[in-house]
Amino acid sequence: MLNRLSDEDIYLLFEKDQWEESRIIGDWAEYGTEQLAAKVAQYFHKSKGKDVIPVDSMQDAIELQNHGMNGVVVPKTIKKLIELQEGSAESKKQKRAYEYSIVSELSETEQHNFLWAVNLLKSIKLELPIQVVNFVGENVFGIHKPGEVYLSKKILSDRKELVATLVHEIAHEKGNDGEPNHIKEMENIFSQLIVKLTKEEQK
């Protein structure tokens, strides 16, 4: 039966995810359905784009975007079949991470601004380790990992972007993008910085 269906027909079967057959085939995907997976992957990229990666949630799509990649939310069965062909989103993230920068690669201005920003955060008791890197994604300025922040070298010459990015990433210690705790923590950090700088000006 499946051999008589077009790539689009098969894809739509799984996209609607309402047939019992689709869930059964999905559950058995790791046991020899390479041809089926290839058809699903082929139509997925034809309709969504050749570099798009299937994900489970909008949060996963945002995480991929932070690594310079595009993700689109799909039913779990479609994601499972495509991963049989292409590997997981996590494995792709690890391949497209970043390169560390060393001090000798930073200009005098970049070094000065970096230390200025670090000391500014230290003044309000924020001392999270910060790594300066070159990201693969052109529009990636920073990434947060638990207990650590990765900062793009290309924003070190712009103090406004530097502080905005650092505060955004450090606030991820409290929550993910768009979550109330993340927004609240950004507001809290900026408030502390304003109070600190205002006090210094009044001395």
pLDDT tens profile 2-61: 555 576 766 676 666 554 555 555 554 444 467 778 888 898 999 999 889 999 899 889
Domain ranges of the chain: 2-95, 98-202
CA angle 55, 27, 11 (to 5 degrees): 55
Each residue's pLDDT tens digit, 106-138: 999 999 999 999 999 999 998 889 999 887 767
Considering the four listed CATH numbers 3.40.50, 2.30.30, 2.10.25, 3.30.2010, the one that applies to the domain covering 98-202 is 3.30.2010
Coil/strand/helix, residue 173 = helix
Each residue's pLDDT tens digit, 156-198: 999 999 999 999 999 999 988 878 999 999 999 999 999 988 8
Place of tokens 């995907």: 29
**How many angstroms separate the Cα of 17 from the Cα of each of 14, 24, 58, 155, 165?**
5, 11, 19, 44, 40
Tell me, what's the pLDDT at 124?
Answer: 92
> For the whole model, what pTM was predicted?
0.57
Max Cα-Cα span within the chain: 81
The burial class, CB within 10 Å (0-12 / 13-18 / 19+), for 111 is middle
**How many angstroms separate the Cα of 31 from the Cα of each of 12, 37, 96?**
22, 11, 29
Tell me, what's the pLDDT at 189?
Answer: 95
